[in-house]
Amino acid sequence: MTTLILTCRLAQLNSRWSILDQPNPRSLHQQPTPRTGGLAVLAGGLIGSVLTGLVVAPVAGSTLALLLPGLVPLATLSFLDDRHGVPVKWRVLAHGWAAVSLLIAEFAPDSLELPGLAGTIPAWTALLLTFLFIVWMINLYNFMDGMDGFAGGMALIGFSTLAWLGQANTGFAAFCLSVAAASAGFLVHNFPPAKIFLGDVGSTTLGFLAAACSLGGSRAGLFPLWTALLIFSPFIVDATVTLLRRLWHGEKIWEAHRTHYYQRLVLLGWGHRRTVLVEYTLMAACAGSALLAVRLPPAGQLMLALGWIVIYGLLLWGVGRLERRRATVSAP
């Protein structure tokens, strides 16, 4: 409710906190739109976690306390970046510190969990991979926040699924549900056509929380880490494959672009609403698969993971095929 009320207020163009996202040749929106929705999500999530910690599950407050050292600087710098612009070096420093804060809080896994396989890994390898994972999640969530209703929907489905998987730990589940509820309140005004955007303050903090909850739940033995990656795979796969493709073509990866797969579908004429509804279906399928995976034997988990690799390969190929067909039809 807190997020819903704050989002409604921040969506007004005359709000004193309003920061307008102006359309440009690389954006998908056509009208100036406030990009301060992340403040509402952050406030709603924090208030929900504190109240839950006081009334229902005190452990939720402990979870929040572990996250604040990285979350507060990250959110603060991201808000300043939304408002005035911040040099890249300071953003990199904030992202790095957010990752280090989770390493200090011992969020790094002590074993490698893959579908149907588990084993130990050297401590330095675990720390390095965890650091890179956190930084990438922060950035990829920011990259993927480019379509109405997209990032909010991923947060709602993703954190709700983590809560279900982690229900054995009341505090963990309550914290995840607080983030999911805050995302739902924001989504009311962000669903196409969006009246407000997350902005960097929302997208980076949601990416940080997604990484933290995935690692924390795995570390506590609530679910294998790879199932959390499966839940958020609609974002992870699109962002990672797009980055690798741009590197392969020698493009400047730090420059804004419209070549993510979801952006390409919008530009193909699908529009925000149709594209995001299809993405919701994909997110729900991934969430359902993650819930199924924890009940499967090792061989079943491996087959499920291989199945999703094939599915994503077909989906990515399908987008390219649609583009080629359109180019053929449009050619004189």
Q: Is residue 247 part of a domain?
A: yes
E strands along the chain, which residues? 20-21, 33-34, 112-114, 117-119
Residue type, 34: P
Q: Is residue 329 part of a domain?
A: no
Q: At what angle do helices 199-219 and 88-104 cross, to 10 degrees?
A: 20
Q: What is the pLDDT along the chain (332 residues), one digit of tens a residue?
A: 667 777 777 776 666 666 766 665 555 555 777 888 888 998 888 887 777 665 555 555 567 788 999 999 999 999 999 888 889 899 999 999 999 999 999 999 988 888 877 778 888 899 999 999 999 999 999 999 989 999 999 999 999 999 999 999 988 998 999 999 999 999 999 998 888 889 899 999 999 999 999 999 999 999 999 999 999 999 999 999 999 999 998 888 777 788 999 999 999 999 899 999 999 999 999 999 999 999 999 999 999 999 999 999 999 999 999 999 887 765 44
- Domain extent, residue 172, equals 2-324
Number of folded domains that form the chain: 1
Cα 77–chain centre separation? 18
- What span, in angstroms and rounded, lies between the C-alpha atoms of 164 and 177? 9
Q: Is residue 65 part of a domain?
A: yes
Contacts of 38 (CB under 8 A, 6+ apart): 75, 78, 79, 82, 198, 199, 200, 201, 202, 203, 205, 206
| Helix or strand run (H / E) with residue 140 | helix 123-144
Distances (CA, A) of 48 to 64, 90, 97, 286: 11, 30, 25, 26
Distances (CA, A) of 238 to 2, 24, 152, 158, 280: 32, 22, 16, 16, 14
Contacts of 288 (CB under 8 A, 6+ apart): none
Strands 20-21, 117-119: pairing is unpaired
Q: Is residue 332 part of a domain?
A: no
Q: Is residue 43 part of a domain?
A: yes
Cα 150–chain centre separation? 9
Query: Which of 286, 281, 289 lies closest to 262, judged by CA?
Result: 281
Supply 162's token pair. 């983590």
**pLDDT recorded at residue 326:** 84
Please report, in angstroms and rounded to a whole number, the separation of the first and last CA atoms in the chain: 54
For 248-270, b/e burial (b = at least 16 CB within 10 A) is eeeeeeeeeeeebbbbbbbeeeb
Q: Is residue 330 part of a domain?
A: no
pLDDT (tens digit per residue) in 259-300: 999 999 999 999 899 999 999 999 999 999 999 999 999 999
Q: Is residue 220 part of a domain?
A: yes
